[in-house]
Amino acid sequence: MTFHGGFKEQILFEQWDTQTMTAFIGSWLLIFFVAILYEILKTVRDQSSKRDGCQCGQQREGQPSLLRHQGQQYENSNNNDLIPRVQTGKVRTNKRARLLSLRHFIQTILHILQMGICYLLMLIAMTFNIYLFLAIILGAGVGHFLFAWRRSSVIDYNEHCH
């Protein structure tokens, strides 16, 4: 398979068949904006995860706190510890409650949408139409330029399409 040009292209479905330049341009714009939507969705997931994950005053399970509050007792603690031990009697987050929480459900729905969009864009790229490929690349680039600066990390190690 090689890249090709032209505006007569069947995209994803039999019904999405561009026979005119106008239909192709409309499809190109739709694909461009879907690629931007993909980048927006990545940013929304990151912002939501950062907001939901920041439980001020609480620490993650199994990680010792670097701050020692007055009157707190720690396992195997002595006055020479540079990093205090895990608190005894600490209320641990109920894993089942986190699994069934609304936040986790919303993150799961956003993840499903992100994966679906990502694979649809990949299938469009696999039509090997250079113009549709450019629509995806340019849309993702514009989306990254406009929205990635809001992410907590610009490098996404959980990226599905890279």
Token pair 């969009």: residue: 117
Query: 125: which residues sit within 8 A by CB, 6+ positions away?
Result: 132, 133, 136
pTM of the model: 0.69
Query: At residue 90, does pLDDT exceed 90?
Result: no
Tell me the average pLDDT of the chain: 78
Question: What's the CA gap between 142 and 40, in Å, rounded?
Answer: 10
Q: pLDDT by residue (tens digit) across 3-50?
A: 999 999 999 999 999 999 999 999 999 999 999 999 999 988 888 877
Largest Cα–Cα separation, the chain: 78
- Strand duo 9-10 + 17-18: pairing: antiparallel
pLDDT at 160: 55
What the block records as the tokens of 149 is 């600066």
Q: What is the dihedral of CA 54, 59, 62, 68, to 10 degrees?
A: 160
Residue 60: the pLDDT is 44
Contact 30, 136 (CB under 8 A): no
Nearest CA-CA partner of 87 in 58, 64, 67, 69: 64
pLDDT for 98-140, tens place per residue? 778 888 898 899 999 999 999 999 999 999 999 999 999 999 9
- Residue 56: band (very low, low, confident or very high) from pLDDT cuts 50, 70, 90: very low
Q: Which two tokens stand for residue 81?
A: 């510890």
